[in-house]
Amino acid sequence: MADGEKRSVLGILVNAIDRKGAVATIIDSAACGRGLSVSALAVHGIMTGVQDSEHKYRLNHLDVVVPDGQPVRWALNLLHGTSLPDRVCGPDLMLDICAAAAERGLPVYLYGSRPETLLRLTARLARRFPDLIIAGSRPSRFRCLTAGEKAEVIDDIRRSGAAIVFVGLGCPRQEVWAYEYRQSLDTPIIAVGAAFDYHAGLLKRAPASMQRAGLEWLYRFLQEPRRLWQRYLVLNPIYVTLLGVQSVRPRKFDVNAATPPTRELMYG
């Protein structure tokens, strides 16, 4: 049943939620000034938690994890009978949220990527959503931050008046960021993967037919084979194999068998 509740996919908790439900949850939290940590996970995101007990703990303590990849949606449907009609793709979710934020007058903040990407992204979002208030943006430093730098980021976001924060640092850095900042910001924090690059016009989306067939990974692999070969050619088969194991031995994937992080990673 697609009730918005969390279900285990290889021990990683994923919400059985559709795009409409995800947008409503995020916008309601933003309008109320309530913190909410959100990530859109595809197979690679799930596997980062499977392979790292501390990261599994982080993922399972985010407020909302939506099924970004078709294989994650299929897993929810096959293992838990959720009957989700489609995945909740991070780039599409970002556009839906921007549209709703523009309508409600909720300012957004863009964190991550490079300065030139943020400039292109801001310009394109402004053209697409003339009423959208972009309260601020800050590029990634592509390193770990100091405590003082983290405090500076938090202060900048608070002073901007942003009601929603989009984070585009790449997986798993953006999920770490959402986990580590979730107690410091009274806004939804949404980790949206490659959405910044897509909406800035730097990456092309796979054709809709490939997306529906769960082959967007192949399209991305063909675009960046050297960077993505291990993610897709190694992790995807392992994911499918482990789903088969979960189908017959569900207790093997205990959502509580995770290690609380011993320190902050301070990605920025």
Domain-by-domain residue ranges, the chain? 7-249
Q: Is the pLDDT of residue 221 over 80?
A: no
DSSP 22-45: HHHHHHHHHHHT--EEEEEE-HHH
* Predicted confidence (pLDDT) per residue in 130-147, tens digit: 999 999 999 999 999 999
User: What pLDDT, on a 0 to 100 scale, did the predictor assign at position 79?
Assistant: 96
CA distance 232 to 170: 15
CA nearest 198: which of 117, 134, 257, 253? Answer: 117
The pair phi, psi for residue 163, each rounded to 5°, is -105, -15
The answer to pTM > 0.85 is yes
CA nearest 169: which of 200, 143, 203? Answer: 143
CA distance 102 to 113: 23
Question: To 5 degrees, how large is the angle CA 260–CA 264–CA 266?
Answer: 145
Mean pLDDT of the chain: 94
Q: Is the pLDDT of residue 1 over 70?
A: no
Which residue would you say has higher pLDDT here, 181 or 69? Answer: 181
CA distances from 184 to 158, 179, 190 (A): 9, 10, 14
